[in-house]
Structure 1
């Protein structure tokens, strides 16, 4: 999968303000078309979820699951926001949660 990181605060604000969002029990996903031929992915994991080890684990799980998804449409800015129950997920369950949101939004190729 071809994607880059979404890092600048202005880019995050742009997606929050002009994008659409969907959520499930463990994740919230904001997305917006970016006009490029690649995706830019951003992560937000609050300190409410846990200490640094837990927050980094959640980010790693999301990143690794996204690497395995070869059927993503290109040209989106996507932000994943972790909710408190996401701290309890393993690799497979995080993948299910991600795929659920991506299918719901139509970012996954049919």
Structure 2
């Protein structure tokens, strides 16, 4: 299993926002830029517009868990920022997981899985 770090400080988030490429779907927005390491760094942002702290924290946990379980599908050496949209409020894990993988395919950062 690969290890990923978190993007924690504001300057890292701003760098990815301004220099990264973004795609969006109904529930999430994803910014991606290459970093100079062998591991991914992921940052998750959920605005107060989405809901109260309980709702925001639940969405953060769903996104983090979805990434963790699919971590081996993502290419390495990336900074990824995932932003939850208001439409994600109250959605199930499977819907959030599907939205995250959809954005990964749009960015072309998912590894090609060999089908046997």
Partner of 2:49: 48
Work out the CA distance in 2 between the residues paired with 1:72 and 1:32: 13
Partner of 1:77: 79
SS of the residue corresponding to residue 36 of structure 1 reads: coil
Partner of 2:98: 96
Count of residues paired in the alignment: 110
Work out the CA distance in 1 between the residues paired with 2:50 and 2:9: 23
Superposition CA RMSD, Å: 0.8
1:71 positional shift: 1.2
**1:49-68 Cα shifts (integer Å, max 9, x gaps):** 11100000000000111111
1:64 aligns with 2:34: no
Structure with the greater alpha carbon radius of gyration: 2
- Give the TM-score normalised by the residue count of structure 1: 0.97
1:88 positional shift: 2.2
- Give the TM-score normalised by the residue count of structure 2: 0.92
Work out the CA distance in 2 between the residues paired with 1:23 and 1:90: 18
**1:29-81 Cα shifts (integer Å, max 9, x gaps):** 00100111000000110001111000000000001111111211010000001
SS of the residue corresponding to residue 54 of structure 1 reads: helix
Work out the CA distance in 2 between the residues paired with 1:74 and 1:2: 10
Partner of 2:6: 5
